[in-house]
Amino acid sequence: MIQLKVNGATRKFEGDPEMPLLWYLRELLELTGTKYGCGMGLCGACTVHVDGKAVRGCQTTMASAAGKSVVTIEALKGQHPVQKAWMACNVPQCGYCQSGQIMQAAALLKEKPKPTDKDIDDAMQGNICRCGTYQRIRKAVKMAAGVRA
Amino acid sequence: MSENTLHVVERRAFLKYTFGAGALILGTHVEAFASSADTAVFHPSVYLGIEPNGTVILIAHRSEMGTGSKSTLPMIMADELEADWKRVKVEQAIGDEKYGSQNTDGSCSIRDFVEIIRTAAASARTMLEQAAAQKWNVPAAECQAKNHFVVHTKSNKKAGFGELATAASKLPMPDKKSLKLKTDSEFRYINKNVPVVDQQDLCEGKGVFGLDAKMPNMLVASIEHSPVYGGTLVSFDAAETKKVPGVRDVVTIDRFKPPHNFQPLGGVAVLADTYWAALQGRKKLKVEWNLGPNASYDSDRYRDSLVAAAKQPGKIVRTQGNVEAGFASAAKIHEASYSTPLLSHAPMEPPAAVAEFKNGKVVCHAATQNPQAVQETVAGALGIDKKDVTCHVTLLGGGFGRKSKPDYVAEAALLSKKVGRPVKVIWSREDDIRTDFYHSTAGMYVKAGLDAGGKPTSWLHRSVFPSIGTTFDEKAEYAMDLEMGMGWNDLPFDIPNHQAENGPAKNHIRIGWLRAVANVYHAFAIHSFVDELAHLAGKDPVEYALSLIGPGRKIEMNPVGMKYWNHNQDQKTFPVDTARLRNVIDLVAQKSNWANRAKGGNGHGWGFAAHRSFLTYVAVATEVKVEGGRVRIPNMHIAVDAGKTYNEDRVLAQFEGAGVFGTSIAMMSEISVKDGKVQQSNFHNYNVARLPEAPETVHVHLIKSDAPAAGVGEPGVPPIPPSIANAIFAATGKRLRDLPLRKGLRA
Ligand code: FES
Ligand code: FES
């Protein structure tokens, strides 16, 4: 049996330890804010925090999440500075990639509160936005960090 | 139970909102799936309704895939109605022909509906004012709707919309000619940067997409399709699959009958409690296919054959003057061949839908651009009436044309019928990329006869590509009017001898429309060629393009052998107006400081292209820095005349996004096929622009215009690839004539 914390609540899981965290969150806990985009760690749509670090839910097995604390977009409740900046900049188009973008950006700012353009490039390049909202993402990250655009 | 109570029960079960009792009084004919607007006390139009409690229900009948149309159309209605946006509920319509076309495609949501919905809202406003006038016994002309109330200033009387709704519903519809539409200065929401209705949900992970839709007791399916287009199932062995925990069933779906239209491809479906279990089961499936006649399709060889065919005479689709005579008398001839690959839409959300077949009827929730096509396709697949298909539309995680073709919804409905439970179908990214309706590959040839000053007197453009028409007629070999009318035979150049020819192309894969469609390859060839001619003539590319376009004038397009399509609009209302094209070019030159740009060389340069499509005029100036095989795009300027706009921030966003989408097409995206099998499968080998590869800043410059609203979602894309190719030429001296450019740059 695997035990882990999801958004603060303790959860027990008895299924296939190879099941990716992404599908556990989406299908068993019905936390569908975390999205599927590729299943191969290539797009970032499934980004969540595990012990405070941004990881790809599709590449994180339940076995490796055992004993860890998982935070998903649902836990941010619209109150995170990154979310506020996202709304101020009208970032989303279709919005599908944005849970992952926001979780990735939130982790970046935790690690580097005043990121440079290069930091933003490096941290965000794993998150694809097919609608092409990248320049607003960059702007919103800077706004949330309080650095000059 | 009285009839009315019955209706209440039905409605409570299906509608999102609970109504006060007054709302029901006039709900005489309540269908189980009626929208709330239909059943509101006052619903002067299918697009809106007002409840006695004052709630204004606005129906979004077009799909939301990121353009903002779900919000912008209701926002226009709210504005015209003088409603308070905070007291508006926007409800997504089910598929129903009463709304008119719901096919959210072709960049026409605003263009085709703005007048209809403004008229509906102005009628409602007028009726509310008349109801207040009757109530207070004052002239209607003295009553004015203001922010959800009607006021009579003289007597200081005020009544809410809800209070007036019942009385308004009894008045006759006002004559359309008597309506007074608001003036631009009176707008409160239009072009005021009001966030889209789902913005907060989308930032909090609460938006419900097709992938998130669910039904009680549903199974989730993953479907193995033939790896080659048109292949048929020989046999399969599901013994190991069925041992996977959670797998409940393995069933087949028949192959489509040609033409494929939007029918399912056919295949073997693994149904399980979860998608994860279905995927595990699918890995264990052993399937044998008869791959059929397309198993020898090789996209590289095919593309070469298109380029070769474009060097041969084809069917004439536009002609004026005499090109041959023009070539014979030219001081100089220049010719070049261009080619573009197949492309996949790859919306971030792959195709997904959930459906239930019960008692001869289907209810589904789908990420679809076209719920009426869902009704038709599902009905066709199951042999039922389309009226018996109820399609709820979820949010779409991108569409780009893929999700107007509802094969995946029909799969869900067919599977539900087979297993007797609701079924959700999710295409994996691999399914999406390997079995898409691909953007067509094209081979093009352009030849110009030049006068002594380097200006063409004769222009021949041949284009050969498998047509979207093969979706509906598998034997089609020539282009449809709409493909020819997309930036090819409507070329607005001032050249006396001009001919366009279309060669035949047999098709071997599903071809479909992708954002901007045939404009993409035509614009790439034409505007690359114009840049080549400018350099040959030693002229500035912008000035040279202006000289080709000639003076500002409205051109009556009457090409031979076809009807000029003009995006289904008449040429009086939407002429090909070179004055507007010149304007966007002047604007982009000014804003990008074109005259003082880095003159090129040393890996740094600027490129230009201007193109009319979807009735919108767009000019682009792009700056590139080429470092080895890597291209950075520090700045991209896009000047746009899309006629009148209604949600400026979303218009800007669409062109910013087009800059990125166009960069993907220009630089890195390519689908290739060997032995009939698509070689790409996911984002490691189907490349799309990531943040550092996208333009750092797309500067969008909108021309304020009173011309009728034109397209916004698509017309930004076509000029991007040639502007980048031309910039790379300026930066490196390398002329790249085949997409994607990165391949040529690294060669
Ligand atoms: S779904 Fe996990 S990275 Fe794409
Ligand atoms: S907003 Fe659509 S994929 Fe990013």
List pLDDT tens digits, range A91-139.
999 999 999 999 999 999 999 999 999 999 999 999 999 999 999 999 9
Query: Do B50 and B152 fall within a single domain?
Result: yes
Query: Do B288 and B303 fall within a single domain?
Result: no
Cα(B425)–Cα(B416) distance, integer angstroms = 10
Cα(B414)–Cα(B670) distance, integer angstroms = 32
User: Which ligand is closest to the CA of A57, given by its number?
Assistant: 1
Across the interface, whether the CB atoms of A96 and B195 are under 8 A apart is answered: no
Determine which helix (DSSP H) or strand (DSSP E) holds A122, and give its type and residue range: helix A117-124
Question: To 5 degrees, how large is the angle CA B109–CA B112–CA B115?
Answer: 115
Please check the confidence at residue B146 and state whether its pLDDT lies above 50.
Answer: yes
Looking at domain A76-145, its CATH architecture is Orthogonal Bundle (1.10)
Closest CA relative to residue A42, chosen from B348, B512, B407 = B348
A45 CB neighbours in chain B (<8 A) are 348
Give the residue whose CA is nearest to atom 4 of ligand 2.
A129
DSSP A20-34: BHHHIIIIIS--TTS
Collapsed DSSP state (helix, strand, coil) of residue B244: coil
Query: Do B216 and B199 fall within a single domain?
Result: no
Per-residue pLDDT tens digits for B399-419? 999 999 999 999 999 999 999
Query: Do B120 and B266 fall within a single domain?
Result: no
DSSP category for residue B404: G
Cα dist. B558→B251, B480, B575 in Å? Answer: 53, 16, 12
Q: Could you count the other beta carbons within 10 Å of the beta carbon of residue B45?
A: 17
Cα(B492)–Cα(B575) distance, integer angstroms = 11
Across the interface, whether the CB atoms of B695 and A135 are under 8 A apart is answered: yes
Contacts of B620 (CB under 8 A, 6+ apart): B588, B608, B609, B610, B636, B637, B638, B639, B719, B720, B723
Per-residue pLDDT tens digits for B5-49? 223 323 323 232 223 322 322 222 344 567 889 989 999 999 999
Q: How many CA atoms lie within 13 A of B742 on its CB side?
A: 16
| Mean pLDDT in residue range B268-291 | 98
Question: Is residue B247 within 8 Å of B220, Cβ to Cβ?
Answer: no
Of A16, A86, A90, the CB nearest to B653: A90
Cα(A54)–Cα(A104) distance, integer angstroms = 6
Question: To 5 degrees, how large is the angle CA B554–CA B558–CA B563?
Answer: 125
Tell me what pLDDT residue B16 has: 28
Domain residue spans of chain A = 2-73, 76-145
Please check the confidence at residue A73 and state whether its pLDDT lies above 50.
Answer: yes
Question: To 5 degrees, how large is the angle CA B118–CA B122–CA B125?
Answer: 145
What CATH number has the domain bearing residue B443? Answer: 3.30.365.10
Collapsed DSSP state (helix, strand, coil) of residue B408: helix
Tell me what pLDDT residue B33 has: 67
Across the interface, whether the CB atoms of B656 and A92 are under 8 A apart is answered: no
Q: Which of B203, B235, B258 is the last residue of a domain?
A: B203
B37 assigned to some structural domain: yes
Query: Do B537 and B621 fall within a single domain?
Result: yes
How many structural domains is chain B composed of? Answer: 3
Tell me what pLDDT residue A149 has: 75
The domain over range A2-73 is classified in CATH as 3.30.420.40: no
Token duo for residue B344: 């996949």
Q: Could you count the other beta carbons within 10 Å of the beta carbon of residue A75?
A: 19
From A123-137, B22-36, B224-238, B661-675, the region with the lowest mean pLDDT: B22-36
Q: Could you count the other beta carbons within 10 Å of the beta carbon of residue A137?
A: 27
Collapsed DSSP state (helix, strand, coil) of residue B142: helix
Q: Which of B203, B235, B266 is the last residue of a domain?
A: B203
Query: Do B505 and B397 fall within a single domain?
Result: no
B144 assigned to some structural domain: yes
Closest residue on chain A to B63 (Cα): A94
Q: Confirm or reject: Cβ of A123 under 6 Å from ligand 1.
A: no
The reply to whether omega before B634 is within 30° of 0 (cis) is no
Q: Confirm or reject: Cβ of A89 under 6 Å from ligand 1.
A: no
Query: Do B413 and B549 fall within a single domain?
Result: no
Q: Confirm or reject: Cβ of A43 under 6 Å from ligand 1.
A: yes
Residue written as token pair 């996949």:
B344
Residue, of B561 and B552, whose pLDDT is higher: B552
Distance of CA B678 to the CA centre of its chain: 24
Tell me what pLDDT residue B34 has: 77
Closest CA relative to residue A71, chosen from A110, A41, A37 = A110
> A77 CA to chain B: closest CA distance, Å?
6
Please check the confidence at residue B691 and state whether its pLDDT lies above 70.
Answer: yes
Cα(B47)–Cα(B95) distance, integer angstroms = 13
Best-predicted range by mean pLDDT (B7-16, B399-408, B479-488, B562-571): B399-408
Query: Do B319 and B376 fall within a single domain?
Result: no
Closest CA relative to residue B102, chosen from B406, B485, B385, B349 = B406
Distance of CA B723 to the CA centre of its chain: 22
Across the interface, whether the CB atoms of B397 and A43 are under 8 A apart is answered: no
Maximum Cα–Cα distance across chain B: 89
B64/A contact by beta carbon, under 8 A: yes
Mean pLDDT, chain B, integer? 94
Contacts of B331 (CB under 8 A, 6+ apart): B450, B451, B452
Tell me what pLDDT residue B561 has: 60
Please check the confidence at residue B558 and state whether its pLDDT lies above 60.
Answer: yes
What pLDDT band is residue B275 in, cutting at 50, 70 and 90?
A: very high
B396 CB neighbours in chain A (<8 A) are 94
Residue written as token pair 């300027």:
B637
DSSP category for residue B568: G
Query: Do B50 and B135 fall within a single domain?
Result: yes
Domain residues for the domain of B411 are 210-293+351-426
B527 assigned to some structural domain: yes
Q: How far is the CA of A129 from the centre of ligand 2 (A)?
A: 5
Question: Is residue B369 within 8 Å of B404, Cβ to Cβ?
Answer: yes
Question: Is residue B660 within 8 Å of B677, Cβ to Cβ?
Answer: no
Closest CA relative to residue B348, chosen from A92, A48, A45 = A45
Residue written as token pair 């998130």:
B212
Give the residue whose CA is nearest to atom 3 of ligand 2.
A129
Hey, what's the torsion of the CAs at B120, B187, B639, A132, to 10 degrees? -70
Collapsed DSSP state (helix, strand, coil) of residue B410: helix
User: Which ligand is closest to the CA of A104, given by its number?
Assistant: 1
Q: Could you count the other beta carbons within 10 Å of the beta carbon of residue B228?
A: 24
Cα dist. A65→A3, A6, A14, A31, A111 in Å? Answer: 8, 10, 13, 16, 21
Collapsed DSSP state (helix, strand, coil) of residue B641: strand
Cα dist. B521→B388, B568, B728 in Å? Answer: 41, 21, 18
Across the interface, whether the CB atoms of A38 and B196 are under 8 A apart is answered: no
Q: Confirm or reject: Cβ of A29 under 6 Å from ligand 2.
A: no
Query: Do B402 and B499 fall within a single domain?
Result: no
Tell me what pLDDT residue A36 has: 98
Cα(B574)–Cα(B107) distance, integer angstroms = 14
B431 assigned to some structural domain: no
Hey, what's the torsion of the CAs at B477, B479, B480, B481, to 10 degrees? -150
DSSP3 helix / strand / coil % (chain B, rounded to 5): 35, 25, 40
Most A CBs within 10 Å: which of B71, B202, B720, as the mutation test of the A interface? B202
Query: Do B548 and B665 fall within a single domain?
Result: yes
Closest CA relative to residue B591, chosen from B638, B652, B547 = B638
Cα(B134)–Cα(B137) distance, integer angstroms = 5
Tell me what pLDDT residue B32 has: 54
Q: What percentage of chain B exceeds 70 in pLDDT?
A: 95
| Mean pLDDT in residue range B515-537 | 98
Please check the confidence at residue B737 and state whether its pLDDT lies above 80.
Answer: yes
| Mean pLDDT in residue range B307-319 | 96
Q: How far is the CA of B397 from the centre of ligand 1 (A)?
A: 14
Tell me what pLDDT residue B4 has: 30
> B681 CA to chain A: closest CA distance, Å?
10
Collapsed DSSP state (helix, strand, coil) of residue B354: strand
B250 assigned to some structural domain: yes
Residues 349-378 of B with CB under 8 A from A: 349-350
Q: Which of B168, B203, B238 is the last residue of a domain?
A: B203
- Rg of chain A taking only CA atoms, in angstroms: 15
Residue written as token pair 């930032």:
B203
Contacts of B622 (CB under 8 A, 6+ apart): B606, B607, B608, B633, B635, B636, B637, B695, B720, B723, B724, B726, B727
Per-residue pLDDT tens digits for B56-81? 999 999 999 999 999 999 999 999 99
Question: Is residue B433 within 8 Å of B477, Cβ to Cβ?
Answer: no
Question: Is residue B523 within 8 Å of B719, Cβ to Cβ?
Answer: yes
Q: Provide the pairing of β-strand B442-450 with B332-340.
A: antiparallel
Query: Do B365 and B458 fall within a single domain?
Result: no
Bridge partners, A50 (sequence order): A53, A70
DSSP B509-560: S-B---TTTTHHHHHHHHHHHHHHHHHHHT--HHHHHHHHH-SS-EE----T
Token duo for residue B257: 């009958």
B521/A contact by beta carbon, under 8 A: no
| Mean pLDDT in residue range B549-560 | 89
B432 assigned to some structural domain: no
Token duo for residue B126: 């007028």
Q: How far is the CA of B487 from the centre of ligand 2 (A)?
A: 28
Give the residue whose CA is nearest to atom 3 of ligand 1.
A41
Q: Could you report the predicted ipTM of this complex, rounded to two decimals?
A: 0.98
User: Which ligand is closest to the CA of A96, given by its number?
Assistant: 2
Tell me what pLDDT residue A144 has: 98
User: Which ligand is closest to the CA of B348, given by its number?
Assistant: 2
The pTM for the full model equals: 0.95
Q: How far is the CA of A40 from the centre of ligand 1 (A)?
A: 6
Q: How far is the CA of B686 from the centre of ligand 1 (A)?
A: 15
| Mean pLDDT in residue range B350-375 | 98
Burial of B208 (0-12, 13-18, 19+ CB in 10 A): middle
Q: How many CA atoms lie within 13 A of A7 on its CB side?
A: 13
Question: Is residue B469 within 8 Å of B479, Cβ to Cβ?
Answer: yes
